[in-house]
Amino acid sequence: MTVNKNVILDLLPLYYSDEASPDTRTLVEAHLERDPELARLAEQGRARLTGPPPPAVNPDAQVLAYQEAKRQIANRVITLVTVISVGVLVVGGAALFGVMVLFFR
């Protein structure tokens, strides 16, 4: 059996995680020295293989965020309507009181 580029690419995760045997490490290093294109590909893949794992995806996270945003918007609308209503009542009450004072003087 010949060891080709695909075999080396399959061994790279073991090589980079230090789980490969010394013979496998020697084999991978020899191929990387002989094939600069393979060495470049291996170096590009190294960051993905040795970097931190991606965060776990919670499929309900977007739904929960949407529901929370919707609740906050509803609370703001209710607060705004309440403030405007109280303002209209205060201004209307003051105007009515002013008219009554002028009329019953």
DSSP string, 34-103: H-HHHHHHHHHHHHHHHSPPPPPP-TTHHHHHHHHHHHHHHHHHHHHHHHHHHHHHHHHHHHHHHHHHHH
Cα within 13 Å of Cα(27), Cβ side:
17
What confidence tens digit (pLDDT) does each residue in 60-71 have? 888 999 999 999
What confidence tier does 1 reach under pLDDT thresholds 50, 70, 90?
Answer: low
Sign of CA dihedral 12, 15, 19, 24: positive
The per-residue pLDDT for 80 is 97
What confidence tens digit (pLDDT) does each residue in 28-71 have? 999 889 988 888 888 887 776 666 777 787 878 889 999 999 99
pTM beyond 0.75, yes or no: no
Residue type, 83: V
What confidence tens digit (pLDDT) does each residue in 64-104 have? 999 999 999 999 999 999 999 999 999 999 988 888 888 88
